[in-house]
Amino acid sequence: MSQTDGYTRFVNRPLGKQIAKAAGLPQPVPLRRHTLGDPLVTGPILILGESAAAETVAKQLWREEYDVRRDVGLKQKFSAIVVALDEIRHPQDLSDTVLELGQALRRLDSNGRVITIFRDPNDASVANDATALAARRGVEGLTRSLAKEMRRGATANGIVLSDDVEMTSASAQSAIRFFLSGRSAYVAGQFLTVSSSAGEVPSNWDTPLAEKVIVVTGAARGIGAAISELLARDGATVIGVDMPSAGDALTDVMNRVGGISVQMDITAEDAGVQLLQKARERFGRLDGIVHNAGITRDKLLANMDDSRWDSLIAVNISAPLRINEQLLQARGDGVLADNFRITSLSSTSGIAGNRGQTNYAAAKAGVMGMTQAYAETLGETGGSINAVAPGFIETAMTDAMPTATREVARRMNAMQQGGRPVDVAEAIALFHADASAGINGTTLRVCGQSMVGQ
């Protein structure tokens, strides 16, 4: 839990727990987060369903010597429950398996995981099949609702498979490992769509970014620093970028992660060219970029001036668009990897809107549009582009909020607490792994299933 979240610390002490329970107050628990070498889970995993996906997941986990169970009647605690619904054709087909899940939920451990697996409602094959489409949408709805019923740090999320993708694919394996592990601690009620079988299983799941060279903008502090640290933990070499005014902080971060510092203004007309040249000189290659740099210039639209609007748009969306174009123009020159990966920071404000943030919401929604537009182009050569939309994340910026506003924001999600920068970083690392190549053009919310938006 955040060091600044005194309430969460209080309600996890005997007296605080007693008071919160008696008063009907939120009772958030410390979340299980990943550290290098951690297993996916520490207790039994229950697999429900009789489909090919259920069998594949069970065999994969057995091979890694996890305690896999298929009997819902066992009187024991489960660390995770995987529910395979990928072969249903009618909403009535949900009944038996979902009601079994209901029984098992009573034995889901603290910080447990529920993962549904189902077919993509957006596939053309079911566009005119009312019963099949209703069934697939049904799984989507029950997963979102179930996530709001979870307690004690547990989460529910879904893996969505296109009709021509199986659970044996590298990206499906990457997705289920993410959702089972502490890497997804602050992801709830969300979905990872595996749209192709692209991707390769790494030789070591602990270092899936080995030998990758990745640019991180806005790397000097906060979420950018956490992203840099986590990418390095997973094996990448980081090129950290920030403004000259943040030079000392940037150098400190890069020294810590073994990366290199680049002091520059990302709104410069040739920013992408500069980054490519730096990668060429130092490493001879560039495998990805994380567009993290961003600013806020909050004001009600009625009081918004040109400076607030234009400066935010320039940094938060115009710069990433220009940099992407310049980088992609260099494809085929031997420096930019064919399987180049882009991840950008969006925001729940771009999904649900937020009072006083019309400029910010426009830019962050624009990031999601950019992500959709580039997906096909990058996918043609094995690359990918995705976005991460954080909710309330504990940073220096949120620490400066008025106390009452901050406390309300922390509790307005299914986890009843704020996330950490590392939660955002874990999602970004997922998208930059070659094993996740089949996940392309998506936006993943890291918001504890915020009450705003979906």
Structure tokens given for 8? 């969460």
Residues 304, 432 within the same domain? yes
What does the pLDDT look like over 335-370, one tens digit per residue?
999 999 999 999 998 898 889 899 999 999 999 999
**Residue 4: its pLDDT value, please?**
64
Alpha helices in 346-395 (DSSP H): 349-352, 358-379
Residues 162, 60 within the same domain? yes
Tell whether 35 is covered by a domain.
no
Tell whether 407 is covered by a domain.
yes
Strand partners of residue 286: 336
CATH number of the domain that 187 lies in?
3.40.50.720
Residues 364, 295 within the same domain? yes
Residues 422, 290: Cα–Cα separation, whole Å: 14
Q: In what order do the strands lie in the sheet with 108-119?
A: 68-69, 45-48, 78-84, 108-119, 155-161, 191-194
- Which residues in 384-439 belong to E strands, given as ranges? 384-390
Number of domains forming the structure of the chain: 2
The catalytic residue positions are 360
Tell whether 347 is covered by a domain.
yes
Strand partners of residue 158: 116, 191
**Residue 8: its pLDDT value, please?**
80
Residues 167, 289 within the same domain? no
Q: Is the confidence at residue 380, as pLDDT, over 80?
A: yes
Structure tokens given for 299? 């004001």
Give the domain-ending residue among 194, 225, 248: 194
Alpha helices in 26-93 (DSSP H): 52-63
Alpha helices in 188-347 (DSSP H): 222-233, 247-257, 271-282, 306-313, 319-328
Q: What is the pTM of this model?
A: 0.94
**Residue 2: its pLDDT value, please?**
45
Residues 363, 224 within the same domain? yes
User: 27: pLDDT confidence band, cut at 50, 70 and 90?
Assistant: confident
Q: Is the confidence at residue 405, as pLDDT, over 90?
A: no
What single-letter DSSP state applies at residue 450?
Answer: B
Domain hosting 250: range is: 213-446
Residues 152, 234 within the same domain? no
How confident is the model over 404-429, as a mean pLDDT? Answer: 90
The kind and range of the H/E element at 131 are: helix 130-147
What does the pLDDT look like over 39-68, one tens digit per residue?
999 999 999 999 999 999 999 999 999 999
Tell whether 20 is covered by a domain.
no
What does the pLDDT look like over 113-129, one tens digit per residue?
999 999 999 999 999 99
What does the pLDDT look like over 315-335, one tens digit per residue?
999 999 999 999 999 998 899
* Percent of residues, the chain, with pLDDT higher than 90: 83
Q: Is the Cα torsion angle 353, 356, 362, 368 positive or negative in sign?
A: negative
User: 22: pLDDT confidence band, cut at 50, 70 and 90?
Assistant: confident
Q: Please choose, from the candidates 205, 202, 216, 290, the residue with its C-alpha nearest in 3D space to the C-alpha of residue 257.
A: 216
Tell whether 53 is covered by a domain.
yes
Distances (CA, A) of 229 to 258, 418, 421, 431: 9, 20, 11, 16
**DSSP labels for 248-283?**
HHHHHHHHHHT-EEEE--TTSTTHHHHHHHHHHHHT
Residues 165, 232 within the same domain? no
Tell whether 184 is covered by a domain.
yes
103-131: buried (b, 16+ CB within 10 Å) or exposed (e) per residue?
ebbebbbebbbbbbbbbbbebeebeeeee
Q: How much is the mean pLDDT over the chain? A: 94
Residue 116 CA to its chain's centroid (Å): 17
Residues 275, 265: Cα–Cα separation, whole Å: 11
User: 1: pLDDT confidence band, cut at 50, 70 and 90?
Assistant: very low
**Residue 376: its pLDDT value, please?**
96
Q: Please choose, from the candidates 44, 12, 41, 5, the residue with its C-alpha nearest in 3D space to the C-alpha of residue 182.
A: 41
